[in-house]
């Protein structure tokens, strides 16, 4: 494809700011560990996107509707099937006027009922995915609701976007960082987001290769490891994907045995409270070749959070892991334990050496009748939020947690031990 370089989102005044230097994929602000580097790098090498004259890409900068129109015009070769209207807020002299007309004609974007296009409005992630699904003529197969259940925040997807987002999901266009099961549909799309979505759309059209399984970025592609896509649109939307597991892949469903560092103690919180805490891996995680991917002692950073058990008059909590540090490298992970119900069955013996919040200490004094727990417990720790119960506590022994990965992730290297 012969394409005009588009500086993704770089607009000054009424003109598109093109690079003043030769295009390069080595951007100073897109480091080796930046989550979207492979998407950005590959598109830049294909001259589909470009950086700024100072050598940066500014991946976290938001994208407007006009900028997105310019990007899709540069990236895709869809037929011009619709005659564009004269948008009231897009004069012919506007820098992106031709790109907006083409994006409309190709079916990627539409205007608003009042005749406006709102070119300077920042575009939400859901609109980017709807635009790509519509422009590439993808439609969902099967149950839309079932597909969207992939996302914890599916309820935030507007009605007009449900079908197209489901189709985008089935065709592996969706890339969610840092949590693969959190779509963030109303969050403003960044330059990195758009680069990831565009690259995946080109993969679906078989115009770019799927990312290798060993790349960390592949962990954020929804349905990456589910085999051939199921999209039914007339675009070439099957995508190649891959079913080959990297030896560095830690798969969804892996249970992480954890413990509290240096001691096997209970953590006691009041129902409704959240507590940030660090645990550590108790047993190494190995691959099928018995190589260590996550050594024992690796640090797990996360939170004890309240859990609502619907239909039951029970309060509970669970541990949610946010990051994992392995040999100095920190990974975003998606892992959580089962819910642990609050209890009144505690005594001085079970509390020996425990870490408890101040609110839990007050409840425990009432439960045990011991107003002087200082000589029993290990330490008082900070807890956030107000308790929702004054007659029970949640007792968590980290070594008993069934902390389980909810999505795949890949370590950068096999551990040395």
Read off the DSSP letter of residue 133.
Answer: H
60-70 residue pLDDT tens: 999 999 999 99
- pLDDT for position 372: 66
Taking a C-beta distance cutoff of 8 angstroms, is the pair 140, 167 a contact? yes
Model confidence at 374: pLDDT above 90: no
204-253 residue pLDDT tens: 999 999 998 778 898 899 987 644 333 333 333 333 333 345 778 888 88
- pLDDT for position 231: 39
Which of 35, 61, 205 has its CA nearest to residue 123? 61
Distance CA 176, CA 181 (A): 7
The percent helix, strand, coil of the chain (3-state, each to 5) is 25, 20, 55
pTM above 0.85, yes or no: no
Which of 193, 64, 57 has its CA nearest to residue 125? 193
Question: What is the DSSP pairing of strand 249-250 with strand 409-410?
Answer: antiparallel
> Predicted confidence band at 376 (pLDDT cuts at 50, 70, 90)?
low
- Burial of residue 349, with CB atoms counted within 10 A of its CB: 0-12 exposed, 13-18 middle, 19 or more buried: exposed
Model confidence at 119: pLDDT above 50: yes
Model confidence at 12: pLDDT above 80: no
Going from the C-alpha of 307 to that of each of 178, 304, 313, 361, 388, the distances in angstroms are 22, 10, 12, 20, 11
Mean pLDDT of the region 272-293:
88
C-alpha atoms less than 13 angstroms from C-alpha of 89 in its C-beta half-sphere: 13
Model confidence at 278: pLDDT above 70: yes
């Amino acid at each position: 494809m012969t394409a005009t370089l588009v500086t993704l989102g770089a607009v000054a005044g009424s003109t598109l700011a093109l690079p003043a230097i030769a295009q390069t994929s080595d951007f100073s602000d897109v480091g080796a560990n930046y989550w979207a580097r492979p998407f950005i790098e590959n598109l830049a090498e294909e001259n589909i996107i470009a950086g700024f004259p100072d050598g940066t890409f500014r991946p976290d900068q938001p994208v407007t509707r006009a900028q997105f129109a310019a990007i899709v015009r540069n990236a895709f070769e869809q037929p011009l099937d619709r005659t564009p209207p004269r948008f009231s807020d897009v004069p012919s002299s506007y820098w992106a006027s031709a790109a907006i007309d083409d994006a409309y004609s190709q079916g990627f974007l539409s205007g608003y009922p009042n005749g406006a296009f709102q070119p300077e409005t920042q575009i939400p992630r859901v609109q980017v995915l709807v635009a790509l699904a519509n422009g590439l003529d993808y439609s969902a197969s099967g149950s839309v609701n079932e597909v969207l259940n992939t996302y914890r925040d599916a309820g935030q997807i507007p009605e007009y976007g449900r079908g197209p987002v489901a189709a985008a999901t089935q065709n592996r266009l969706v890339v969610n960082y840092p949590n693969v099961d959190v779509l963030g549909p109303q969050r403003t799309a960044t330059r990195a987001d758009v680069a990831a979505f565009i690259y995946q759309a080109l993969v679906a059209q078989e115009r770019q290769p799927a990312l290798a399984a060993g790349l960390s970025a592949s962990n954020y592609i929804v349905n990456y490891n589910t085999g051939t896509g199921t999209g039914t649109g007339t675009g070439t939307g099957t995508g190649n994907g891959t079913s080959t597991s990297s030896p560095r892949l830690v798969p969804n469903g892996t249970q992480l045995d954890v413990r509290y560092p240096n001691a096997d103690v209970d953590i006691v919180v009041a129902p409704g409270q959240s507590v940030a805490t660090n645990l550590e891996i108790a047993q190494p995680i190995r691959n099928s070749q018995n190589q260590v991917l996550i050594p024992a002692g690796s640090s797990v950073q996360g939170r004890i959070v309240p859990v609502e058990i619907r239909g039951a008059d029970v309060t509970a909590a669970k541990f949610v892991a946010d990051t994992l540090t392995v040999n100095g490298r920190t990974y975003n992970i998606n892992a959580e334990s089962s819910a642990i119900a609050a209890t009144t069955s505690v005594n001085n013996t079970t509390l020996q050496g425990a870490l408890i919040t101040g609110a839990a200490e007050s409840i425990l004094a009432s439960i045990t009748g011991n107003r002087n727990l200082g000589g029993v417990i290990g330490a008082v720790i900070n807890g956030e939020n107000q308790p929702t119960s004054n007659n029970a506590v949640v007792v968590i022994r980290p070594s008993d947690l069934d902390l389980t990965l909810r999505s795949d992730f890949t370590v950068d290297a096999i551990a040395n031990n």
